[in-house]
Amino acid sequence: MNSFIKQLYACQKSNQSLVCVGLDPNMDKINALGVDLSTWLKSIVDSVAHQVCAFKPQIAHFSAISAEEELLQIIAYIHENYPDVPVVLDSKRGDIGTTAEKYADEAFKKYKADAVTVNPYLGQDSLQPFLDYADKGVIALCKTSNVGSNEFQNLILNNGQTLYQQVAENAANKWNDNNNVLLVVGATYPEELAKIRSIVGEMPLLVPGIGAQGGDVSATLKAGLNDNLEKSGLIISSSRGIIYAGDTSQNYASEASQACQHLNRQINDFWSI
């Protein structure tokens, strides 16, 4: 088990949480609260840090507003103040050769993320610079939560598998020499999630699509948990449904905390059904 996955599982156990909170700044909403970006980010992180298993800042939401420095600062803030909570940089990078190497360096050397999301559709050579960081997590897109994912990811290949199933197969059996590969699988597709779980065994899966995108918590847990049904195997990501729960209130941080608590209760109630 690599360092990122060890940290992830330890945090899930200590915080009794499978929830990953995405950090996606929207300056229209943040400005309406009368605070600056750094204050908002720290307030959100402080309000939910003991209720989550990871944070997931989305790089485009920062770079689009020239807030790379704030991204650096919030990752450093999490590492310093909540060192047990891993940080996933959501960048979905995918390229070849030296460009892929620079994208890997960006995630792990510049931003010092514990894991990064990547696009695997250029093949293993495009992933290798990320995979070579053996202590980091490499989270490859497999079956994404958006409606348009069916356009390519569900295509049937000559071997009878769908494209997303082939990605899962490669992730489990070709790319994972360092045991640091994870997959992105949307909560909006529980049937596909179950098929992917059957292919990859106990590999952790990052699951977006709960909350604003309409994914069902119970269906996700039934389809995606490890076979032993212990509280492991999933990283359930929610962004807008938590961080903007209080977007019209000066109590935005406490309302984010309440929204995170609510999602945690929904997840933990599964074991009492």
Cα 25 to Cα 133, 151, 254, 272, distances in angstroms: 28, 29, 17, 35
Would you put residue 139 in left (φ > 0), alpha (ψ -120 to 50) or beta? beta
Q: Assign 254 to helix, strand or coil.
A: helix
Burial class of residue 228 (count of CB atoms within 10 Å of its CB; 0-12, 13-18, 19+): exposed
In the structure encoding, which two tokens stand for residue 175, read together?
A: 């790319």
Q: Residue 2 has what pLDDT?
A: 79
Alpha-carbon distance of 210 to 27, in angstroms, equals 23
pLDDT at 236: 96
CATH numbers and ranges of domains, the chain: 3-272 (3.20.20.70)
Residues in the chain predicted with pLDDT less than 70, given as ranges, are: 1, 211-214, 228-230, 247, 271-273
DSSP code string of 139-166: EEEEE-SSGGGHHHHTPBPTTS-BHHHH
Q: What is the pLDDT of residue 210?
A: 79
**Distance between CA 88 and CA 247 in Å, rounded?**
24
- Give the pLDDT of residue 214: 64
**Active site residues per annotation:** 92
pLDDT in tens, 62-92: 999 999 999 999 999 999 999 999 999 999 9
Q: How far apart are CA 183 and CA 236, in angstroms?
A: 12
The whole-number pLDDT of residue 230 equals 64
| φ/ψ of residue 183, rounded to 5 | -130, 150
